[in-house]
Structure 1
Amino acid sequence: MTTNAAQTIDPNRQPVLSVSHLTTSFLVDGEWRSVVKDISFDVMPGETVAIVGESGSGKSVTSLSIMRLLARASSRIEGSIGLNGRDLLSLPEAEMRRVRGKDIAMIFQEPMTSLNPIFTIGRQISEALTCHGNLSRVDAKAETIRLLEKVRIPNASSRFDEYPHQFSGGMRQRVMIAMALASRPKLLIADEPTTALDVTIQGQILDLIKVLQEEEGMSVLFITHDMGVVAEISDRTIVMYRGEAVETGRTDDIFHRGRHPYTRALLSAVPRLGSMKDQPQPLRFPSVDIHTGERSEPKPLADTVDHGKTPVLEVKNLVARFDLRGGLLGRPTGAIHAVENVSFALSQGETLSLVGESGCGKSTTGRSIMRLIDPRSGEIRLDGYDVMKLNAVELRRMRRSIQMIFQDPFASLNPRMTIGAAVAEPFIEHRLGSRGEAREKAADLLERVGLKADMMSRYPHEFSGGQRQRICIARALALDPKVIVADESVSALDVSIKAQVCNLLMDLQQSLNLSYLFISHDMAVVERVSHRVAVMYLGEIVEIGPRASVFENPQHPYTRKLMAAVPVPDPSRRGIRRNLAVDELKSAVRPVGYITPRRQYREVSNGHLVRMEEVA
């Protein structure tokens, strides 16, 4: 059940934050280059203002300028930043340190890099309390436990002495929120606080920020590139493009009457859950020219699936476990049951999506199929290969038929190798031709993925995130594979870049008849690109079937939970609470000798299977 608790803003009150003509520049090669250009906006008491734009638009630099966290030697901040009438740019550094955390607090995108791994959670939050108040250690501990309970961390008192690595990503982000709230700030800056989180955890964090804002009466400056999140949380929105605010207004006006072409381009790239109804095939994202605002609607894609033929990939009863050892002798104490009795088939030209939260076994399934890790048992047949029985030489030959695209393209590319060499390397290593032929192949592949052949001499750091992912796609195509495992390959990308890369993958499927095992937690993207969908929970498939059947008639509670958590780009949902359970994903660790219960599935419709309750 959802509740509506929209915030009422008094326009006659003085702003908590007033930013006027903010210009931030960095010293590059002896010259000052502006990355934020003449930005002005106010944040009223109790109001949420969203700054939205793609990577490099100047969103985070704006927030760091407000907090004065930029290096003074290489940065220059001009204009005025007023917090409750005080000019932050004129304050001495010692006074600014007292403002940070007490009057204005910030939540960063990646909580693990924001928390000190050698100190307990309790100590780090207590430190924020003692720095800005005169609390004793006992009182600080009591207040810390109260804050942990306030941000809905289960068993808060027992987790006071735990370390950051003992918390999940969503729970670490809750700890960061608790730390930010410790001194009851008037303004909370949330810089991409949900981008790296699973969709259900993201929904919980958004609900939490809304509730805490009402309880504490604080203002929020929310920075994101996700227009669905913007619609659900913000009263007003500022759209940034290349350091400038190109459009500002109430969120419903931005969404329904956005004027700037870039605003319309951002909105067109947002996948909307339910938009694929009556669409038999995957559908490309629409494109909007960011200069003219002209929108081109996608044409229906042809059916690429070879129906009735032998599947290119068959997986039966796949089991992958990781032993846990302890004690002086390092004996097994249990095992992580990462993948349990997973079975599916993938036809030529088909996209099967594996969806679920972090830790459900999606990526382990993909890596097991490629034998990047060795499964415990099961059958894997790929393009005529019995994958489980291959030796090292045969395994190398098999991998010509299946390639993988990883989530982080920068970590996937050698920073010392030009992209031309990186794309050509698989062709050379498998001895498919001469170096000249490899270079020609690399140039052709770069053109095919929307880059230029004359870029071959550049290095990975000279490309944007979206361009680097295109390079990784080109490299995956170098061996002319039949199957590509796309492991969260678009989850870290900006919304418009995500749409472009998804369109590229669908175009390549049409032209090369590729099969995709598309691993993701983004249900809205999965609905757009998939022929079939398999939902995983704790290492097992709980629901599998044709995309239309699963999305229009979800049967398993976990499937419905995933779909309910997807942010909807509709400002009328402002203030809605999903009331999602805040429990962490259950552990997949099992004791030695644990036997997985036998599972049964019922068929809802043709090819749509749902796991039933445990059978003794």
Structure 2
Amino acid sequence: MSETPVLSVKNLTTSFLVDGEWKSVVRDVSFDVGPGETVAIVGESGSGKSVTSLSIMRLLSPGSSRIEGKILLAGKNLLALSEKEMRGVRGNDASMIFQEPMTSLNPIFTIGRQISEVLTRHKGLSKHEARAETVRLLEKVRIPNASARFDDYPHQFSGGMRQRVMIAMALASRPKLLIADEPTTALDVTIQGQILDLIKVLQEEEGMSVLFITHDMGVVAEIADRTIVMYRGEAVESGPTEEIFHRGKHPYTRALLSAVPRLGSMRNRKWPTRFPVVDVSTGEAAEPAEVAGTVDTRKTPVLAVRNLVTRFPIRSGLFARQTGAVHAVENISFDLFQGETLSLVGESGCGKSTTGRSIMRLIEPTGGEVALDGYDVLHLDQVGLRNMRKTIQMIFQDPFSSLNPRMTVGQAIAEPFIKHRLGTAKQAREKTADLLRKVGLSPDMASRYPHEFSGGQRQRIAIARVLSLDPKVIVADESVSALDVSIKAQVCNLLLDLQQSLNLAFLFISHDMAVVERVSHRVAVMYLGEIVEIGPRAAVFENPQHPYTKKLMAAVPVPDPARRGIRRGISNEELKSPVRPMDYRPPKREYREVSEGHLVQVA
């Protein structure tokens, strides 16, 4: 690099004080970020990538952390600055965007006030000037009707729009360096595409350098000029992104790339297919075989949903009268057969999770019919509901919140078995040991607590708990979306293996199109509470018909650096609101059959 780098990190070592001893979590990391350049740091949870970014901004607690080496920002050594001088650097010379904007935005202040504060503090602008500049920044990040939204609060924005507000705040003082720490991980695929495009466009306009931290190789391919691969606290490989992707030398780099599910990889495959399991020491992965099943659609479906409607009342005024309703699920119908995976896909707010919860009566539906293995679900009393839940179980996105931190994992797995009086305490222990083995864990782990396990292991424990009642149907609600790429592959393989051995039916709820393509027999695409397209996986993915299905697929980041110049076109649209007035009558929908079992909603 001929020009002087904006950021130069030399021999960075970060340690934490654990039980009176210093333990290094980042070791001897060095890299530069040039003017106008995007450098990505990639790696899985625990690799040290976020600690590297927090070390650069000196946001770690000085009492329990130690940062050694050199961090030069525009020639200034950040490690030699006082805390007061560092406050002048943060938000001024260097800004940072985090994964979850709601943790960075103050819920009690308007977004206009929060951005204006950066301008008055760092740029010395008057209140009037700061307001005008804030509106300009909100327009720059494509917030529709920016001047009217100046006085809105964070909760009045969608996730994607909140992330745009965070970018506007980060850009307020025109920093030389923007550090983006997993800024798109929590977002839907279409919103993620918009945020990536926005960062690229703003970078070109402002001539800003970007340090982008992620575990998503598709995102890296689309945004980074150069890439640094981190593994267990060390930078194991770095170089131009194209070089890393096509000629990566380190086994971990190759392992990371092999584990990424690619859209289109299931062409000409009839059945769901296990993910390649990668040997991190060699980087090699064998392409696994299909998981052939026995889905017999001539038999009675284990789950039949007809005209399901779920609406939430909106009340306002002094007497809390109902003034409208959220039409979360609107007149949807589908069947699910034994041994089959039907995936519900769509963005946040489309109604897919509400559908799963309504079927289980965790949320009370407004109308329709749900038949589950002989149960008329919507008319069951409490005793019937309790018995029905032996047939259908749910795996949630965050296993930590669904496991009691005060119970050992053995107690947690055995609890449903004991509560439903399916056997003695001895049988419960034997069942727990068997289930732990089934999900790839050791029976002697039963005496440990949830916090002693990794995220992937906790999700395996949650799966074991669900299996303790021998259900026929499992609703998997975003059950792998929070996991790293290699852990995601392992958990998906586990679900496929369990389906094959136990003949389970899965309702797989996800917004990850590449994972859905790999695990599904059939796919239903949801938009604003309605199914707009449903059919066999190959038909929907290889011949999408509805404009929304096409939009979802076009937004998926592809792990190919040749796409780096591509712009999708930044849309200002948020997902339309499902809120309707009291007198609203939903239109009668018609469906066209494109091929056998492939139905598309007629506009």
Q: TM-score when scaled to structure 2?
A: 0.99
Instruction: Report matched runs for 1:153-302 at 5 Å.
Output: 153-302=143-292
In 1, the alpha carbon distance for the partners of 2:565 and 2:71 equals 29
In 1, the alpha carbon distance for the partners of 2:282 and 2:597 equals 45
In 1, the alpha carbon distance for the partners of 2:312 and 2:347 equals 19
State the shift of 1:435 in Å. 1.0
- 587-596 or 117-126: bigger deviation: 587-596
In structure 1, the residue corresponding to 2:26 is in which secondary structure? strand
State the shift of 1:301 in Å. 1.6
Map of 1:577 onto structure 2: 567
Map of 1:542 onto structure 2: 532
Map of 2:517 onto structure 1: 527
User: Aligned AA for 1:77?
Assistant: I
1:592 is the counterpart of 2:585:
no
Map of 1:428 onto structure 2: 418
Structure 1 runs (4+) greater than 2 angstroms displaced: none
In 1, the alpha carbon distance for the partners of 2:566 and 2:25 equals 35
Is this contact kept in 2: 1:261–1:288, CA < 8 A? no
Is this contact kept in 2: 1:313–1:347, CA < 8 A? yes
Pick one of 380, 385, 391 that aligns with 2:370: 380
Aligned residues: 603
Map of 1:47 onto structure 2: 37
Map of 2:481 onto structure 1: 491
User: Aligned AA for 1:443?
Assistant: A
State the shift of 1:580 in Å. 4.5
In 2, the alpha carbon distance for the partners of 1:302 and 1:120 equals 54
User: Aligned AA for 2:313?
Assistant: D
In structure 2, the residue corresponding to 1:46 is in which secondary structure? coil
Is this contact kept in 1: 2:313–2:326, CA < 8 A? yes
State the shift of 1:262 in Å. 1.1
In 2, the alpha carbon distance for the partners of 1:313 and 1:227 equals 37
User: Aligned AA for 1:203?
Assistant: G
In 1, the alpha carbon distance for the partners of 2:188 and 2:445 equals 35
Pick one of 48, 65, 74 that aligns with 1:58: 48
In 1, the alpha carbon distance for the partners of 2:118 and 2:398 equals 33
State the shift of 1:291 in Å. 1.0
In structure 1, the residue corresponding to 2:447 is in which secondary structure? coil
User: Aligned AA for 2:10?
Assistant: S
Map of 1:74 onto structure 2: 64
User: Aligned AA for 1:459?
Assistant: Y
In 2, the alpha carbon distance for the partners of 1:457 and 1:530 equals 35
State the shift of 1:303 in Å. 2.1
User: Aligned AA for 2:248?
Assistant: G
In 2, the alpha carbon distance for the partners of 1:149 and 1:443 equals 58
Instruction: Report matched runs for 1:321-470 at 5 Å.
Output: 321-470=311-460
In 1, the alpha carbon distance for the partners of 2:92 and 2:458 equals 40
User: Aligned AA for 2:379?
Assistant: K
Q: TM-score when scaled to structure 1?
A: 0.97
The percentage of counterpart residues that share the same residue type is 79
Is this contact kept in 2: 1:210–1:575, CA < 8 A? no
In structure 2, the residue corresponding to 1:576 is in which secondary structure? coil
In structure 2, the residue corresponding to 1:54 is in which secondary structure? coil
In 2, the alpha carbon distance for the partners of 1:473 and 1:335 equals 35
Map of 1:120 onto structure 2: 110
- Deviation per residue, 1:270-321 (Å, 9 max, x gap): 1111111000001111111101223222012212312311100000000000
Instruction: Report matched runs for 1:3-42 at 5 Å.
Output: 11-42=1-32
In 2, the alpha carbon distance for the partners of 1:483 and 1:206 equals 37
1:478 is the counterpart of 2:468:
yes
In structure 1, the residue corresponding to 2:386 is in which secondary structure? helix
State the shift of 1:48 in Å. 0.5
Instruction: Report matched runs for 1:83-122 at 5 Å.
Output: 83-122=73-112
Is this contact kept in 2: 1:304–1:509, CA < 8 A? no
Is this contact kept in 2: 1:490–1:502, CA < 8 A? yes
In structure 2, the residue corresponding to 1:456 is in which secondary structure? helix
In structure 2, the residue corresponding to 1:353 is in which secondary structure? strand
Is this contact kept in 1: 2:456–2:491, CA < 8 A? yes
In 2, the alpha carbon distance for the partners of 1:441 and 1:265 equals 35
State the shift of 1:233 in Å. 0.4
Is this contact kept in 2: 1:355–1:535, CA < 8 A? yes
In 2, the alpha carbon distance for the partners of 1:503 and 1:238 equals 29
In structure 1, the residue corresponding to 2:123 is in which secondary structure? coil
User: Aligned AA for 2:552?
Assistant: L
User: Aligned AA for 1:153?
Assistant: I
1:566 is the counterpart of 2:550:
no
Structure 1: gaps (5+ residues): 1-10
In 2, the alpha carbon distance for the partners of 1:314 and 1:349 equals 14
In 2, the alpha carbon distance for the partners of 1:387 and 1:292 equals 51
